[in-house]
Structure 1
Amino acid sequence: MSGELNHLLENVLLDTGGLGRFQFIIIAVINLAKFPFTWSVLMMTFGGATPDWWCGDFGNSSMLEEDKDAGNKSAISLSFKQCSVNDSSECSAVHFDPEMNTIISEWRLICRESWVPGIVTSIQMAGLFISGYLSGQLSDMFGRKPIIFISILLQAVANFIASFSTSWQMFASLRFAIGIASGLFLASYLTFIIEFTPMKSRPMIQAIPSWSLAAAFYGLLAWLLPDWRYIQIVTGAVSVPFLACWFIIPESFRWIVSHKKMDEAKKVIDRIAKINKVSCPSLQEVEGAVEKSNIIDRKYTLVDICRHGYLLKRAVIVSFAWMAMAYTYYGISFGVDKLSGSLYINIFVLSCLEIPGDFLAWYIMKKIGRRWSYMLFSLLSAVGCIAVGLAKNFDFNKSWAVINGFAFVAKLACGIAWSCLLIITTECYPTVLRTTGYGLASSMSRIGPILAPLALSTSATYKGFLYFTCGVVTCISGLSIFCINETNDRALEDLIGANQMEVPRKVTERGIQITNTKDY
């Protein structure tokens, strides 16, 4: 009977207008709210970048500019990116390029302090690691809506305060809080949208390049305001207007039904129907299915995933895939200042390349399914990463072009594969555990970007280390995805075990028609 409930809820969505005006409002608001979270997560790609700097004593600042253009030591013992001059043990003076102000130049995080930016990034990712699981657990317990808006509020406040940091320790603490806020949002926003979206339109949701557009705008923002403090303020300010959307957006009706709150569900369905300008459908069949399914209005936890073998297997495979994607994606992103060319252009170009990739993911998933799509692009990303690693170990003409080119390919393919993985993750868990499972995967994925800065540092000694390891984990994840079932063209599972003994059905013009109402 739980399988029947899944299909009845799918039909309710179609009867209230399918992909209508209400759905477009939800999609637009949530994806726009995602922009400042993207900027927060990627902040260290600029904030942790190292500006040009010189070590030495001099009295004429104009000579610094001449030396900057020449790229050589000047006559006044000026040294470019050298921790000591004239055999001295340490710089007596450091002069940073005034064209950009990052935390490196703010607190002189070079030479003996060069380890700090990587630690700050890892601290931020630790915040995402913790909140990723908490978000899923809390939103399954208390609803999707409260967690999303709490994350927006926390993110805005933490960014404002961070802009007034007086030390890197204070900044790192606030990056942890920003990581918490970002994890809360990123682990719940897609589930929230998907639960309002008809089955055939779900892949389209992930095709919306909100992350890629936000990342590209971040490159422009860093170019226009090349000061980490201003970027923090703008990020916080952009978040504030979305708090007013609390009065516009309702709670997920699937979550409400799964907790047997039928009166609230009727109000949400009536509101959706009015906005989509259709008559409100009857929920009598749904109410009957809820009663027969023996739903218990209780709090579901990670323990429930561990108790069911099929869910535990999905959790392990999907969580490892998330970790692999995050390790590769953020490894390339955080190392963007190590690529040749302008930092701002590299951020912008790498992000823009992902935009057509999101649409390609949508098209490919419709044609060949979720699993084949994920495997295809994860293996392509692995090939690109290994090619970069090999190129870094050989010195040849235009090696920079080869390295940048394959890095772009690796990141593009990784972004497309991750888009496929997001859909797989939302579709492979029942509603009562959907954000718990999604949050678990999101949380485990943060192990990747926690390790990525350390691997990037290791690459200074062992050339290409980061890219070789990216290639290996991405390849393994691409092959292992076939250990779970395909989710293409399947109704969302609402209760545990609902799709393990599938209720026979057929697709009609109205949607999914139940042809057998036997209580499984």
Structure 2
Amino acid sequence: MHTDDIIEAVEGMSRFQILMVVFIFGPKMLMAWGMLMMSFAGTTPDWWCVPATAPSVDETDYMNNVTLKLCPTSDNITCQIVYSQDKNTVASEWDLICDQNILKSIITSVQMAGVFFGALFGGQSADVLGRKWTYFISLVLQSGFNLVAAFSVNWQMFTVLRFLIGMTIGSLLVVSYPYFMEFIGRKWRPIASAMPVWVTGVCVFALSSWLRPDWSHQHIILAALHLPFFAGWFFVPESMRWLAVKGRTDEAEKVVDQMSRYNKRQKPTNTLQLLKQVAEEEQKLRASGSRYTYLDIYRGWSICWKSLVIQFIWMCMSLVYYGISFGAVRLAGNLYLNIFLLAVVEVPTTVLTFFTNNKFGRKWTGIGFFAVATSAAFGVAIIAKTVSKDEQGVIINLLALVTKLGVGGAWAAYGLLASETYPTVIRNLGYGAANSAARVGGMIAPYVFAGGDGDLVVPFVIVGSTMAVCGVLSVVMKDTKDQPLADTMGGQVNTRGDVMMVAIPEDIENTKL
């Protein structure tokens, strides 16, 4: 609680925090680009199986001949696969069609598995090595892996690199959100979820793919866009909260000096004393000398059940969010426009969550958006079942956009709730576990829309059902609105294993800054 007071004294949202937005939240655009790369790279251009023994056929002839759009088999004539030239994807690069078609979903799932392991690693690393080192190492590796992926010589090499890219994305996602939040004031925390940085990244990706529809070029462009953000190493400090709980109070005070200098505010005269109180409290709790691990987010029923609910909800949100995103090709209309619309629809929603999170709380904001997503998803299933295919295209696209809007808004609320539920010493672990659970949903997501020959009933019944379950589970969660960010576990374990908060002495609690 002392660190919250210090941040409020030197300004909870000013020039320093804007610097953090640029260098810590700015790269989220690139994470979004990298995460959804397969929504373009995994699509299959129009193709035709032209008999190798057939006389010379002009392009117009075989493009109009539907009998030439059949998978070659051992029973039919040997043929040559010819692809449309409107885009170059991994499917056309390595003939991932027909019996190889499933490999596209496998590549996407492998990427999401990488995000899973990256989230686990990033959560532990950020709490052990620090937020800054973990963040910038992951950022450099993400750029490098994208550059190498652009020169993949086969789908196996590409798959390995998508896994490694996924690991860096997972690590960055876990670190960036708590890292930024640990520098902002209490009333400004919802802005971490309200800034449409991720959405902007997806929109730019859609535009770039449209202008340069080549999977290799997209990886090179993405790698190059990382370069300006490397400069953040020289401007962005380590988390003051993390330094304090690690006992590095002199370094933490220097961070406060930097914040006060940038924000042109006087730091509290008793800053070092308050930081030492945080360090001493943590030292008493950690007298055994053991390190925090993921087990600590399940130690004691009061934190265990919250962790399990948060992780299950994040898994479901990821399943729906990425299922719809990777399934953009299944919607009617232009692929690039669909990717753009599925992203841009979240802009007003994420901005709205800044106000709803502050007014109604994180819990009820999430419940409201889950209700919207549930209704729209079941609406798609009903329309797909009852309306003729010629008339359902626009309606289904609109309802799919509303579903994406709903899950995006709910995720904005739960990103904040998950970070605020855990104290500084295990915040990245708790947030990392939630992200890892989300990647389980992400690994399943490519298969939700993969089969069924264009049928949308089953996928959107799954989507609607999972959103409904999330809404019901949200009711039992405790809201974190207006609550200070805890720095330590703050207590001792009672006979039931629940965490008991240590009372703050009155003279400390009433300290004037």
Same topology, TM > 0.5: yes
* Counterparts of 1:90 and 1:123, CA distance in 2: 35
* The 10-residue stretch of structure 1 (221-230 or 15-24) with the greater mean CA deviation from structure 2: 15-24
* Counterparts of 1:126 and 1:314, CA distance in 2: 24
**Equivalent residue for 1:442, pick from 435, 446, 469:** 435
> Any idea what SS the aligned residue of 1:213 has?
helix
Contact persistence 1:163–1:233 (CA under 8 A)? yes
- Structure 1 residues 463 and 416: CA distance shift in structure 2, 3 A: closer
* Counterparts of 1:462 and 1:429, CA distance in 2: 42
Contact persistence 1:503–1:516 (CA under 8 A)? no
* The 10-residue stretch of structure 1 (349-358 or 450-459) with the greater mean CA deviation from structure 2: 450-459
What corresponds to 2:144 in structure 1? Answer: 157
What corresponds to 2:86 in structure 1? Answer: 99
Contact persistence 1:83–1:90 (CA under 8 A)? no
> Any idea what SS the aligned residue of 1:460 has?
coil
The aligned runs of 1:61-140 (5 Å cut-off) are: 63-65=58-60, 68=63, 72-73=64-65, 79=67, 81-84=69-72, 88-89=75-76, 92-140=79-127
* The 10-residue stretch of structure 1 (463-472 or 269-278) with the greater mean CA deviation from structure 2: 463-472
Deviation at 1:302, TM superposition (A): 1.1
Deviation at 1:12, TM superposition (A): 0.2
Residues 272-316 of structure 1 show CA distances to partners (whole Å, capped at 9, x for unaligned) of 111111223232234235435625375211121222212111110
Deviation at 1:344, TM superposition (A): 0.6
Structure 1 unaligned blocks of 5 or more? 1-5, 507-512
Residue 11 (structure 2) pairs with residue 22 (structure 1)? no
> Any idea what SS the aligned residue of 2:28 has?
helix
> Any idea what SS the aligned residue of 1:412 has?
helix
Residue 468 (structure 2) pairs with residue 481 (structure 1)? no
Deviation at 1:389, TM superposition (A): 2.3
- Structure 1 residues 462 and 224: CA distance shift in structure 2, 3 A: closer
The aligned runs of 1:380-399 (5 Å cut-off) are: 380-396=372-388, 397-399=390-392
Residues 22-50 of structure 1 show CA distances to partners (whole Å, capped at 9, x for unaligned) of 11100121122122211110000000011
Matched letter for residue 45 of structure 1? S
Matched letter for residue 328 of structure 1? V
What corresponds to 1:12 in structure 2? Answer: 6
Matched letter for residue 323 of structure 1? M
The aligned runs of 1:167-316 (5 Å cut-off) are: 167-281=154-268, 282-283=270-271, 284-292=273-281, 294-296=284-286, 298-316=290-308
- Structure 1 residues 17 and 67: CA distance shift in structure 2, 3 A: same
Contact persistence 1:10–1:198 (CA under 8 A)? yes
Contact persistence 1:458–1:465 (CA under 8 A)? no
Matched letter for residue 366 of structure 2? Y
Deviation at 1:469, TM superposition (A): 1.1
Structure 2 unaligned blocks of 5 or more? 492-498
Residue 440 (structure 2) pairs with residue 451 (structure 1)? no
**Equivalent residue for 2:44, pick from 35, 44, 50:** 50
- Structure 1 residues 109 and 437: CA distance shift in structure 2, 3 A: same
Contact persistence 2:3–2:274 (CA under 8 A)? no
What corresponds to 1:3 in structure 2? Answer: none
Matched letter for residue 181 of structure 1? T
* Counterparts of 2:30 and 2:489, CA distance in 1: 35
What corresponds to 2:418 in structure 1? Answer: 425
- Structure 1 residues 90 and 175: CA distance shift in structure 2, 3 A: farther
Contact persistence 2:111–2:162 (CA under 8 A)? yes
Deviation at 1:390, TM superposition (A): 2.7
Aligned CA RMSD, in angstroms, stands at: 2.3
> Any idea what SS the aligned residue of 2:48 has?
strand
What corresponds to 1:510 in structure 2? Answer: none
Deviation at 1:370, TM superposition (A): 0.7
Identity of aligned residues (%): 33
- Structure 1 residues 502 and 359: CA distance shift in structure 2, 3 A: farther
- Structure 1 residues 192 and 485: CA distance shift in structure 2, 3 A: same
Residue 349 (structure 2) pairs with residue 357 (structure 1)? yes
* Counterparts of 2:454 and 2:88, CA distance in 1: 27
> Any idea what SS the aligned residue of 1:270 has?
helix
* Counterparts of 1:59 and 1:136, CA distance in 2: 61
Deviation at 1:267, TM superposition (A): 1.1
User: What's the TM-score, normalizing by structure 1?
Assistant: 0.90
- Structure 1 residues 300 and 463: CA distance shift in structure 2, 3 A: same
* Counterparts of 1:476 and 1:288, CA distance in 2: 43
Count of aligned pairs between the two proteins: 496
- Structure 1 residues 496 and 166: CA distance shift in structure 2, 3 A: same
Contact persistence 1:323–1:447 (CA under 8 A)? yes
What corresponds to 1:509 in structure 2? Answer: none
> Any idea what SS the aligned residue of 2:345 has?
helix
What corresponds to 1:368 in structure 2? Answer: 360
Matched letter for residue 340 of structure 1? A
Deviation at 1:60, TM superposition (A): 5.6
Matched letter for residue 9 of structure 1? T
- Structure 1 residues 290 and 84: CA distance shift in structure 2, 3 A: closer
What corresponds to 1:32 in structure 2? Answer: 26
Residues 385-431 of structure 1 show CA distances to partners (whole Å, capped at 9, x for unaligned) of 22222333334251111211110110011111110110011100111
* Counterparts of 2:79 and 2:315, CA distance in 1: 43
What corresponds to 1:347 in structure 2? Answer: 339
Contact persistence 1:101–1:226 (CA under 8 A)? yes
Contact persistence 2:281–2:488 (CA under 8 A)? no
* Counterparts of 1:324 and 1:134, CA distance in 2: 22
* Counterparts of 2:411 and 2:384, CA distance in 1: 26
- Structure 1 residues 463 and 80: CA distance shift in structure 2, 3 A: farther
Matched letter for residue 71 of structure 2? C
What corresponds to 2:128 in structure 1? Answer: 141
* Counterparts of 1:462 and 1:336, CA distance in 2: 13
Contact persistence 1:259–1:298 (CA under 8 A)? no
Residues 89-108 of structure 1 show CA distances to partners (whole Å, capped at 9, x for unaligned) of 36511111101000011111
* The 10-residue stretch of structure 1 (92-101 or 473-482) with the greater mean CA deviation from structure 2: 473-482
